[in-house]
Structure 1
């Protein structure tokens, strides 16, 4: 315990970073990738649009719940939202704040007792940390889940899809509103097979998301006779040189035109950048790490054209777009990163951040607003963030109903209720329709429903713009509209990605090492193709069909006397008989001559009748 106290004290001293804090009777923690990874520091300078939207989605959901008179009517939810900077170790350190807050709120100092009444939460307390929404990256969730389970704090992720997180022996306080990558990997193999590709390369990110996902893809591909030409891992904090090296290895496999990506967004963009610099073109099939992100393909549209991506099927959250479009730096003071997001979105600088070096930069106008015209689009995981918050709210509502009186806020029994029991008895058992009228529930492993959209990145007709077009869906099986696919440079012809082309009729495969690579060898005229690797003799009286797939019995043919083929041999035979008889007669008539008489009569006559 002493070690823990020292650790928490150090974290409070050294990690005094910004956070979003809204007081409430019950506080939900939040973990979102607001900033990118830093090269020499934990956090980079770039602000992620998706991270800010997910953060705002959590506050949007909390605002709606707090305004709802039927859901947790006597309890006000608060938040404590932290930036993970897209880095698992940094997120783990930041999560210590949840632990410290949880311990503080379980201490008796958080309660007050007046007039011999039962203990109740102090009015100025932030309330116990009942659960955490996040993280986004699977690597972050894996680290944080291991910490939170030690203190019985449930966690719901709106984006982490690593298969390992379904293991309840290790992550028994973890749930998610999204499905595991097992289904996504199967969907990717289904896409590859539907294109008749048998030879592809793969690229995956270092960490649980990429490594677990590509493992399932490789296993499923092998079972379905899809060969892997090259499998390249993108290390953490990869630079331009690393991406160019990986791309060079992919290009060496000239027949593997298709490349399957199971990468984080920044790694997918790194590959596209390398492809643009090296002026090369490949055909991409990508997981939801790419999904339908516009920022990922910004200025890289030409090398991304034709990409097929998988994205979790999500519904537009009604009211969220209006909420986001109403926000400005002047009215959104609870989000400390919103100013950065604003400046990045509009490529300007707010007056309060100007200094002598910024005189040439454009100052942000007071009239600026988020809209579709400036590229605003609801991020695909917003629904799952909102669903995660509502899942906590419904579970807490049921817990309050069972333990507290109707007019109570957080009664002592609820404040001290074990997080493990809350997770198993309440959180996993919620089932409801969300704001978009989609069904939300968890299976026994705490996983969400597996539904995916299949997208194709296409150029808009008669314009210079590009967009993601939905060309199919996956729910247990693939439905793909092949005719709607558009490839590089607007081609509608499905490219070939095979080590060897199929053999012609009457030919078999002679394999050369890899099961997907072969040369074609022709069967003999009297042989048929027994299987794709073997020719077999049809046997006596049989002959192969033209397609060489089987044999048939040769029909018996009899010679007719009026046939030319009968008349000519018969005439020749008759002539031979006549000549033979003439020789015999000649021998008989000249039997007393010296030449004939000196010969062996029996032998001479035998020669006459021999053929």
Structure 2
């Protein structure tokens, strides 16, 4: 019965049983096995021996109250089964309940006669049996004359033929011509005949085995004690095994039950008003159903379930009974470990669509054919090629006035920083490795630091020279020589290098997977956000200071307009970085393509701005206007283009009268009659200072007899 309930999906049923051993023990056995099978009993009701019909109706109403338990498992005799079906007709609910009845109902006509509509669809059991022809031959030949040994046979005879064997009854007298099986007294072999015969044989085999252990055959001479306890005999009964009268093996299991073999019937309406039991399967060690023969009152099988199955991704929450539960949804990052438990997916994985398993998250990286890769790579490649061309031009025209006037040493440092910035940009786009992460850490900070340290050194030197006024003509400002400038520049860069190496020591480079949008993983370099901010902050400080110097030197003479180019570079750089910060941090934790590409483009644009603004004018003159790449006297240019400096010299001269220069010349006021001495800018700033150190684009000269490459600037004094 448990297997039948499972086969039809009935996991929530009610039970109805007779009072007494048959009903109570039958329901007890069902409950015991149903628990292991996942079937719950909604309610268990009992029919008492003296229950009236009204009491039966109350039991039926109790069964109907539970709207989810539509199936009733019944262990009741045929009379009580008939009363239950009659009560269903009385309350006019013949289609609400379906019965799963024991062999006491079996395939009998008596329980269903007159209650066919209420019984329709009931599934019943009957022990599998064979018709014993020998018994039919014996039984049909019995009469009251040849069966005197059975005291109840006369009563059976009178009831069967509705006649009387005595004159006391008012019914008709039996004629003596009656026989079993005649018209009006149909005969069908009782289903338990086979089992009664097998039971007698089982006891006989048990007694035979008992005597065989204590006596020898023949047993007529056996002197063993004839009185035996029931427990002793039962032990032998449970150990018997023989072929029964129907050809089946007869034996018992450890619990004393015989091997179950059942036929399964369903009471069906064959046609209008015609009902019969239809064989729909059997049970021999396991259930076998003939689904094509099954027919229900409605189109589908009765639905007797306490709780619906939880949807995909939902776990069960029991409500007292194993078959009754609520459903709660697993979290978005959890999978259903079992029907009751949600568990978090391991790191780097996500639940499947139905949250039944966890599958590894896809690892995304920039593809070479994507827009996010092609744009920065193309931009960076063009910038790197242009930088290499500029370096080549500087090397080829290294001794020309414009190149010399550019502060060659710092220009080479600046170009190296620009080239490193382009290289770092490319490394940001490639799939990270430990080596690339190391180079990224150092390259990002150092490359930008080289650029802005070189420009800061340039602007600081120009500012100090022109801010000193006439003092600069008398005494050269400190640390303005090319060697000093290189030392200052690399001193600034060394702070970034030391910081980067220290960072590597405290936090070793490594890669890590970062969860993005709960949908995929991105392979990134493991790096402390604090260290990155400190590194970039140092470069931002350099940009701010350089911008301040650019503003202060914006009005110097036209001949020294490199400061204006640096100032414009810093303005543009500030704009780029101000735009980058919200884009980068806005995309952080979101779309990794925007995050990576924005940082790459910011570094590349910063390098490109420096390349174009600082070196484009110089390369333009060197390659396209070579006639300007010559030396000229500087006196006219100095007077015309720097009237402020000329005025300062005149005012100071009036108060100073005469004063000596470092080369032995003497300065006097122009109005005085004195000897004019030609003094070069080298006399003012020292022999190792070139005009190119003052960043003059238009420095020219016609004194071709000088062996020094420093162009002279004559002062009419």
> TM-score by structure 2 length?
0.46
Q: What is residue 453 of structure 1 aligned with on the other side? A: 262
Matches within 5 A, 1:42-191: 188-191=1-4
Q: CA, structure 1 residues 228+522, in 2 after alignment: closer, same or farther (shift >3 Å)?
A: same
Q: CA, structure 1 residues 412+308, in 2 after alignment: closer, same or farther (shift >3 Å)?
A: same
Does residue 382 in structure 1 map to residue 196 in structure 2? no
Q: Is the 8 A contact 2:17 2:47 kept in 1?
A: yes
Does residue 196 in structure 1 map to residue 9 in structure 2? yes
Does residue 323 in structure 1 map to residue 132 in structure 2? no
Q: Which runs of 5+ in 1 are unaligned?
A: 1-187, 575-580, 594-599
Q: Is the 8 A contact 1:309 1:455 kept in 2?
A: yes
Q: Distance in 2 between matches of 1:300 and 1:198?
A: 27
Q: CA, structure 1 residues 509+354, in 2 after alignment: closer, same or farther (shift >3 Å)?
A: same
3-state SS, counterpart of residue 297 of structure 2: helix
Q: Is the 8 A contact 1:455 1:468 kept in 2?
A: no
Q: CA, structure 1 residues 531+453, in 2 after alignment: closer, same or farther (shift >3 Å)?
A: same
Corresponding pairs, count = 400
Deviations 1:249-285 (A, max 9, x none): 2212211122212233333333222223223342222
Q: Post-superposition shift, 1:317? A: 2.0
Q: CA, structure 1 residues 431+545, in 2 after alignment: closer, same or farther (shift >3 Å)?
A: closer
Q: What is residue 322 of structure 2 aligned with on the other side? A: 515
Matches within 5 A, 1:568-583: none
Deviations 1:64-86 (A, max 9, x none): xxxxxxxxxxxxxxxxxxxxxxx
Q: Which of 309, 325, 333 is the aligned partner of 1:502?
A: 309
Q: What is residue 89 of structure 1 aligned with on the other side? A: none
Q: Post-superposition shift, 1:455? A: 1.3
Q: Is the 8 A contact 2:266 2:279 kept in 1?
A: no
Matches within 5 A, 1:455-604: 455-459=264-268, 461-462=270-271, 464-475=273-284, 477-484=285-292, 486-489=294-297, 491=299, 493-538=300-345, 540-560=347-367, 563-564=370-371
Q: Distance in 2 between matches of 1:364 and 1:487?
A: 47
Q: What is residue 293 of structure 1 aligned with on the other side? A: 108
Pick which of 424-433 and 314-323 moved more: 424-433
Q: Distance in 2 between matches of 1:417 and 1:265?
A: 40
Matches within 5 A, 1:346-361: 348-350=162-164
Q: Which runs of 5+ in 2 are unaligned?
A: 383-542, 557-566, 580-717
Q: CA, structure 1 residues 399+196, in 2 after alignment: closer, same or farther (shift >3 Å)?
A: closer
Q: In proportion to residue count, which structure has more helix?
A: 2
Question: What is the aligned-residue RMSD (CA, Å)?
Answer: 5.0
Q: Distance in 2 between matches of 1:423 and 1:610?
A: 101
Q: Post-superposition shift, 1:490? A: 7.2
3-state SS, counterpart of residue 457 of structure 1: strand
Q: Is the 8 A contact 2:263 2:281 kept in 1?
A: yes
Pick which of 215-224 and 531-540 moved more: 531-540
Q: What is residue 609 of structure 2 aligned with on the other side? A: none
Q: CA, structure 1 residues 456+517, in 2 after alignment: closer, same or farther (shift >3 Å)?
A: same
Rg larger in structure: 2
Q: Post-superposition shift, 1:544? A: 2.0
Q: Distance in 1 between matches of 2:156 and 2:339?
A: 59
Q: Post-superposition shift, 1:320? A: 2.0
Matches within 5 A, 1:300-449: 300-327=115-142, 335=150, 337-338=152-153, 340-342=155-157, 344-345=159-160, 348-350=162-164, 369-370=180-181, 376-390=187-201, 417-420=226-229, 424=233, 428=237, 433-440=243-250, 447=256, 449=258
Q: CA, structure 1 residues 332+275, in 2 after alignment: closer, same or farther (shift >3 Å)?
A: farther
3-state SS, counterpart of residue 294 of structure 1: coil
Q: Distance in 2 between matches of 1:314 and 1:305?
A: 24
Q: Post-superposition shift, 1:592? A: 5.8
3-state SS, counterpart of residue 284 of structure 1: strand
Pick which of 226-235 and 538-547 moved more: 538-547
Q: What is residue 610 of structure 1 aligned with on the other side? A: 578
Q: Distance in 1 between matches of 2:126 and 2:167?
A: 37
Q: Distance in 2 between matches of 1:313 and 1:523?
A: 49
Q: What is residue 77 of structure 2 aligned with on the other side? A: 264
Matches within 5 A, 1:244-255: 244-255=57-68
Q: In proportion to residue count, which structure has more strand?
A: 1
Q: Is the 8 A contact 2:74 2:100 kept in 1?
A: yes
